[in-house]
Amino acid sequence: MRKKIVAGNWKMNLDYNEGLALFSEVINMVKDEATGNQQVVVCSPFIHLHSLAALAKGYANVAVGAQNAHQAEAGAYTGEISAKQVKSTGAEYVILGHSERRQYFGESNELLAKKTDTALANGLKPIFCIGETLAEREANTHFGIIKSQLEEGVFHLSAEAFGTIVLAYEPVWAIGTGVTATSAQAQEIHEFIRKEIAAKYSQEVADATTILYGGSCNAKNAAELFAQADIDGGLIGGASLKSRDFTDIVKAFN
């Protein structure tokens, strides 16, 4: 049975103490909510990772992730953080290909394929984001865009390596806008993604892949989204910054 995940993406919010306080609250509130194959992941700024990973120890269903990692193993890249460094904090996951990285930092599918390889080589599990812009949806090119993001970003992986990644469908027009994809729109794309994985690898690999939805997911719409056959949880931005809102989304698992 594939893993169900609710992952928070704090983005560039919360100072060190604020992050620790929020995570402590989150652990207390979600520790009995996520059970079995359900997992809660908090993707924080780098400065929090080591402390959050220490707090998460002992809670099998709570893990920590970064929001980015460099494609090189190490070297003269002032200000950057390597996958090995992220891993050494105790973090388990790393978000790659978030639309804000693609848009503001020019991250291409080709670069993201390298980042994915380096993350995997260092034992991190990528949460790999894909999704179309509003213009692409309006031009009816969204299926093609998602297909090429998969083909160029992650379909070079072996079936075994692919088995360790999590995908997140995040329509760019729904991120931070308050506009959510309808559950039918999201399910349509998730089903498409799963079919593409089955065609590339196998039905078994497709059935085992966790595919999250992200984009203005909140306590009100999470249950309906998570009830869709191919939606295995969510990647949550704004609503992950309040322990009550985030916990209510985690509760939507059940």
Q: According to the binding rule CB under 6 A, does residue 127 interact with ligand PEP? A: no
The enclosing H or E element of 62 equals strand 62-66
Q: According to the binding rule CB under 6 A, does residue 215 interact with ligand PEP? A: yes
**By Cβ distance, which residue is nearest to ligand PEP?**
237
Q: According to the binding rule CB under 6 A, does residue 9 interact with ligand PEP? A: yes
Q: According to the binding rule CB under 6 A, does residue 241 interact with ligand PEP? A: no
Contacts of 157 (CB under 8 A, 6+ apart): 116, 117, 120, 165
Q: According to the binding rule CB under 6 A, does residue 131 interact with ligand PEP? A: no
Determine the Cα–Cα distance for residues 54 and 134; give it in Å rounded to an integer: 40
Q: According to the binding rule CB under 6 A, does residue 217 interact with ligand PEP? A: yes
Give me the active site residues, please: 98, 170
Determine the Cα–Cα distance for residues 92 and 65; give it in Å rounded to an integer: 6
DSSP character for 174?
Answer: G
Q: Which is nearer to ligand PEP, 83 or 168 (CB)?
A: 168
Q: Which of 176, 195, 203, 204 binds ligand PEP (CB under 6 A)?
A: 176
Q: Which is nearer to ligand PEP, 98 or 201 (CB)?
A: 98
Q: According to the binding rule CB under 6 A, does residue 220 interact with ligand PEP? A: no
CA distances (Å), 4 to each of 37, 107, 231, in order?
A: 6, 27, 9
Considering only residues 49 through 68, tell me which ones interact with ligand PEP, judged by CB under 6 A. none
From the list 172, 176, 248, the residue with the least C-alpha distance to 216 is 176
DSSP secondary structure letters along 91-113: --EEEES-HHHHHHS---HHHHH
Q: Which of 19, 97, 131, 214 binds ligand PEP (CB under 6 A)?
A: 214
Interface with ligand PEP by CB under 6 A: which residues? Answer: 9, 170, 175-176, 214-217, 235-239
